[in-house]
Amino acid sequence: MQFFWKVPVNRFRPRHDAGPSRPTIAVTLAESEATEACRRLLAHIRTLSPGGPARKDRIRPYELPGDLLPHICLLDVLPGDRYRFRLFGTALVDAYGGDATGRMLSEIETGESLEHAHDVCRQVVVSRQPVLTRISFETGLGPIVYDRVVLPLVDAEGEVHWLMALIRIIEGAERHSLLAGLGERLLAVG
């Protein structure tokens, strides 16, 4: 694994107070190092478009492996390096403690966490290639580790207008809010 980003996350807490968190580490992953769920999504998308990014209009939710759909979010790529959640899967709503559908990424993330998320999104848009990362952080209730794959989706002209992400927790209880305070931020902005 290659070091990618280190983000302080003192604001990351489960919904109930679990004490301070230790820094988050994000590393880029080779596909072989990613969770089986991330590899299955990549394999499925490649069947739709073997030579490059998949067209959004070719993706059918009912064709995705059923256990992946709740862990998927779609983002609109907007002018000015902005991203809006078009869809936020039910497993993500449970893990994050709120629904981000219709919200801007900048409404959900702040500081270095927002900078990291923007860097990954920007990298996917520019490179037109998926980016796999493993994110880990400690809470007072124990570690939370998750894999994330972000893929570009294109329109009929081949322009990247959407991103698809799968977020899969691999260590730590899904019973905690993955990103503490997110639920409160979602309620505050709504």
Of 66-80, 117-131, 137-151, least confident by mean pLDDT is 137-151
Per CATH, which fold does 2-189 belong to?
A: Beta-Lactamase (3.30.450)
Residue 82 has pLDDT above 90, yes or no: yes
Q: What is the DSSP letter of 16?
A: S
DSSP calls for 46-93? HHH-TTSPEEGGG--GGGS-TTTGGGEEEEEEETTTEEEEEEE-HHHH
- 165/92: higher pLDDT: 165
Name, in order, each residue with C-beta under 8 angstroms of 101's C-beta and a sequence gap of 6 or more. Answer: 85, 86, 87, 88
What does the alpha-carbon distance between residue 106 and residue 113 come to, in Å, rounded to a whole number? 10
What residue segments make up the domains of the chain, in order of their start?
A: 2-189
Q: pTM here?
A: 0.77
Question: What is the tens place of the pLDDT at every residue in 39-65?
Answer: 999 999 999 888 889 999 999 988 888
What does the alpha-carbon distance between residue 171 and residue 136 come to, in Å, rounded to a whole number? 9
